[in-house]
């Protein structure tokens, strides 16, 4: 009987544990059910009419393109300056660009050097730079990139606000009745339109500089062995020219000197002549007197002799 009671007790404990486990499992499922239900509802919910087309039509927001000014500078050693200059000009024009600056100088060693500035579209800058490097030996190369996005956006905003101010001033100008009001509005309208022109010019210049790449090339011509005839004749011609200039300058100085001194000579030469003549006469008179005295003294001495 004791064994049966013990068995019943163990069975009751087991059943109680099973019931407790079952209750815990049921509660857990109930707690998870509300969280999973919305997902199912969302999946089952029909899409709005035309929703797929709207997703396709609306592009993703894109970041505004940055405004960057690109500049390149190269030093090239070339055989002939003129040939390299012509090649750079053709290269710029064939690429849709243009030449904005050229200069040429001659050295004492029968060589030329100078600078050429070109602008080409941004998408062709790489090809153009490669072609430029092929014109000679690259001595140095530099590049700079200036980001003007912030300034460009600010310029656009200022231009927009200035145009709005122009529109409001135009309305006031049409509505103004007094002459003083008309003049005041007209003066302010002129100032605002001047600002608009300045902003538009700056914006246009920035557009050109950002859409085109500026490339400045310094060309140094290599020195040849024997100087050319032009190199020999040019110094000789320059020397003759300098000699003629020197002679003309000296003749100019001589004419000025004579022109300044001749009037004084015309005044003082006669006076000097008269003075010298009188002095000579006096000297001649003194010499005659001295000669007579000597002769008389000689005669008197002869009479006293025995």
- In the chain, the DSSP E strands lie at 68-78, 98-106, 112-121, 137-147, 212-221
What is the tens place of the pLDDT at every residue in 231-275?
567 778 788 888 888 889 988 888 998 888 888 888 888 888 888
Residue 215 burial by Cβ neighbours in a 10 Å radius (0-12, 13-18, 19+): buried
| Strands 68-78, 212-221: pairing kind | parallel
Enclosing H/E stretch for 176: none
Residue found by looking up tokens 């894109």 in the block = 62
Domain boundaries along the sequence of the chain: 68-221
pLDDT at 303: 52
- Copy the structure tokens of residue 276: 């010298």
Predicted structure pTM score: 0.48
- In 203-263, the DSSP E strands lie at 212-221
pLDDT at 84: 92
Count of helix runs (H) and strand runs (E) in the chain: 7, 5
What is the tens place of the pLDDT at every residue in 47-90?
444 444 443 444 544 556 788 899 999 999 998 888 999 999 99
pLDDT at 197: 93
Measured in degrees and rounded to the nearest 5, phi and psi for residue 117 equal -115, 130
DSSP letter assigned to residue 108: T
């Amino acid at each position: 009987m004791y064994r049966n009671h013990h068995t019943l007790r163990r069975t009751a404990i087991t059943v109680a544990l099973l019931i407790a486990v079952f209750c815990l499992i049921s509660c857990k499922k109930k707690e998870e059910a509300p969280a999973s239900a919305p997902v199912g509802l969302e999946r089952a919910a029909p899409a709005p009419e035309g929703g797929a087309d709207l997703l396709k039509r609306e592009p993703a927001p894109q970041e505004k393109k940055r405004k960057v000014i690109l500049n390149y500078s190269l030093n090239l050693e070339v055989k002939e300056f003129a040939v390299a200059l012509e090649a750079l000009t053709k290269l710029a024009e064939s690429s849709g660009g243009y030449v904005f600056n050229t200069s040429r100088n001659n050295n004492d060693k029968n060589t030329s050097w100078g600078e050429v500035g070109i602008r080409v579209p941004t998408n062709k800058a790489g090809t153009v730079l490669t072609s430029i490097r092929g014109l000679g030996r690259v001595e140095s190369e530099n590049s700079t990139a200036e980001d003007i996005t912030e300034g460009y956006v600010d310029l656009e905003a200022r231009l927009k606000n200035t145009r709005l101010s122009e529109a409001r001033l135009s309305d006031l100008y049409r509505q103004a009745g007094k002459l003083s009001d008309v003049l005041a509005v007209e003066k302010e309208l002129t100032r605002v339109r001047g600002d608009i022109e300045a902003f538009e010019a700056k914006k246009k210049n920035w557009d050109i500089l950002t859409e085109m790449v500026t490339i400045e090339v310094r060309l140094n011509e290599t020195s040849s062995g024997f100087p050319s005839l032009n190199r020999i004749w040019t110094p000789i011609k320059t020397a003759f020219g300098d000699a003629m200039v020197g002679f003309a300058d000296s003749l100019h100085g001589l004419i000025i000197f004579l022109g300044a001194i001749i009037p004084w000579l015309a005044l003082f030469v006669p006076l000097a002549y008269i003075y010298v003549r009188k002095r000579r006469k006096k000297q001649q008179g003194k010499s005659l007197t001295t000669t007579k005295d000597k002769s008389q003294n000689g005669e008197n001495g002869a009479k006293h002799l025995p």
